[in-house]
Structure formats: C-alpha cells, structure tokens
Chain A
Amino acid sequence: MASRIGVITFPGTCDDRDALRAVELCGGEPVALWHKDDDLRGVDGVFLPGGFSFGDYLRCGAIASLSPVMAAVRRFAAEGGPVLGVCNGFQMLCETGLLPGVLRGNHHGRFNCLEPELVVERPSPWTGNRAGGATLRIPIKHGEGAWYVPDAEAERLAGAGQVLLRYRENPNGATAGVAGVCNEAGNVFGLMPHPEHAVDALIGPTDGRAVVGGLLEIAAAVPA
C-alpha cells in the first residue's frame, strides 16, 4: 500500500502543489493538510513545503512554527514519524527546535536561483541511500538560505552523522557549506534545495526523487 504523505499548506506557501505532485510521482499518496489542522489525519509521513509562510514576518518560518499543525508535527516527530522540510519548511523545523541551527539571509544579500551540485555526506534513506561523496543536482531558490550554527557545533553535528548534504560550492554562506541536516534520531530532515522541483525529466534533473523517495521509504518502514 502506498505511504500517505501529508503536505502542509500555510498562508504564503507556494511549493505545496509541486510537493503533492512529487509525492505522487514517487509512488506515494499525497494528503493535503492545512496549517489550522490540529491532527495529521493518520498520515505516515509529513512534507513541509517551501514558500513564504506568513510573509516571512518576524523571521522566516517563525510564525508558522507556532501554528496548531506544528504542535501535531512535533508530536508526530517525537513518536518517530518521518518529517521532511524543504526551504521554508526547513526554516520552520529549525524555528520549532526539531532541527539544529537557524537559516539566515544569504551572506551576499542577493536571492539565489541556482542548480547547485550537492555532495552526499554519508549513505542515508533521505538521500536515496547514495554513497558518501556521491553528487546530487537539486535546485535552490532562496534569499535566506544560510544555515547557521557556531563552527564547533557544525563539527559536532557532522561527527554525529547529522549533516547529510553539503554544497560543492557554498552559494549562501552556510556554516561549513551545509545544505541539509537531520535530527539526532534521523527521522526529521531539512534542506534548502528543492527536491520537489527535480522529479520530472521534462523540466530538468530528477535527483529530487532520491529525497522524496527517502521520505516514502522511511514512512513505509515506520509501523503505523
């Protein structure tokens, strides 16, 4: 049976349609969820899509992290449920404290719209079980994409296996070139690149399937 993946829409989310479609293309059953929902309708996994929730007021992802649905996401994650956050979704996960760090404005002050090479740090379902050192090409589009923790903390997280993706060439000033990081338990993953925009060969690379497929793989493995 296909895994049911909840894609949550907030006011100002703009990548929810692509996320729903990517889940379907990768063999999952997408379930549209709303920020005011206080339960997740029994989904097996959660996809927090990109955009500009609440107009990026206060700090990107900050207001969304306080919404009712995020309390449900926090409970779901605590029980081991898989949660993927992309771009604004990554920012929300950092603001809720489900992931370490925070996303800041790009160091050069400009918006990034690029298709960078990403280097897989270690094999993980979240990156399609590719070997360490393998590369993925997944687009980025962000003004506030610089993941920040103090350098020593970035080293500790890398040592603990929580850094999953780095940019080949750092496009935004992220600490240690980190593009994606997971929590200690490994069931919550956030990244700035947009896997949901890279799932259809008609319009470009399809390496995003590795990440969306990873969410489906973990969702299928977690007992309901």
Chain B
Amino acid sequence: MKVTVLVRPRDGILDPQGQAIDRSLQGLGYASRGVRAGKVFDVELDAADRSTAESQARELAERVLTNPLIEQFEVVVHG
C-alpha cells in the first residue's frame, strides 16, 4: 500500500528556503505573498488495510521523517 507523508515547517518557524523562493518568484513578477517549503515522502508499506497503513505511517513520520519541534505532517493513504 502506498502512503504519502507531507512535511511542512511548523507555523511561525523561520523558513529561509521558502523566503528565498518567495523572493525569486517576486523577482519574476509573480504576485507571491509568501512560500513555505516542505518535503514529500512516498512510502510503500506492507500493510493489511488502510487503517494499519495510516497508523504505521503516522508512527514513522513522528519517529523518523519529521522533527516535531520544527515540522508538522499530514498522511495520505492511497488505494
């Protein structure tokens, strides 16, 4: 089963990468008013059903894929 973990900087946490991208967009003339840069992980999980896949994904996102001090995440289960 495939799950996607979307990781974003927590609200209020400085994101120099997003700021630099935002400035570049503005330089190109886009009406950008702020960018927050995150990460996407597509994980193939051997799980019997959706709820097992989701709980496994949440666990590995908390333990490994994110640092909860500065990042938040969302889990999407496919299929």
Contact = CB atoms under 8 A, between A and B. Distances in A.
A59 interface: yes
Interface string A73-103: 0000000000000000000000100000110
B20 A148 contact: no
Interface string A99-135: 0011011111100000000000000000000000000
Nearest to A173: B14
B64 A104 contact: no
B2 to A, nearest CB: 19
Contacts of B69: 101-102, 148-149
A105 B64 contact: no
A145 to B, nearest CB: 12
B43 interface: no
A59, A66, A101, A105: which has the most chain B beta carbons within 10 Å? A59
Interface string B58-79: 0000001101011000000000
B32 interface: no
A102 B14 contact: no
A109 B17 contact: yes
A108 B67 contact: no
B17 A107 contact: no
A149 B13 CA distance: 10
Interface string B19-54: 110000000000000000000000000000000000
A187 B14 CA distance: 31
A104 B17 contact: no
Contact of A66 (B13, B20, B64): B64
B57 to A, nearest CB: 16
Contacts of B67: 59, 62, 95, 102
Contact of A107 (B16, B64, B65, B70): B16
B16 A62 contact: no
Given A58-B65, A66-B64, A106 B16 contact: yes
A173 B70 CA distance: 15
Interface in A161-199: 173
A108 B16 contact: yes
Contacts of A173: 14
13 contacts: A58-B65, A66-B64, A95-B67, A104-B13, A104-B14, A104-B70, A105-B16, A106-B16, A108-B16, A109-B16, A109-B17, A148-B13, A173-B14
Interface of B: 13-14, 16-17, 19-20, 64-65, 67, 69-70
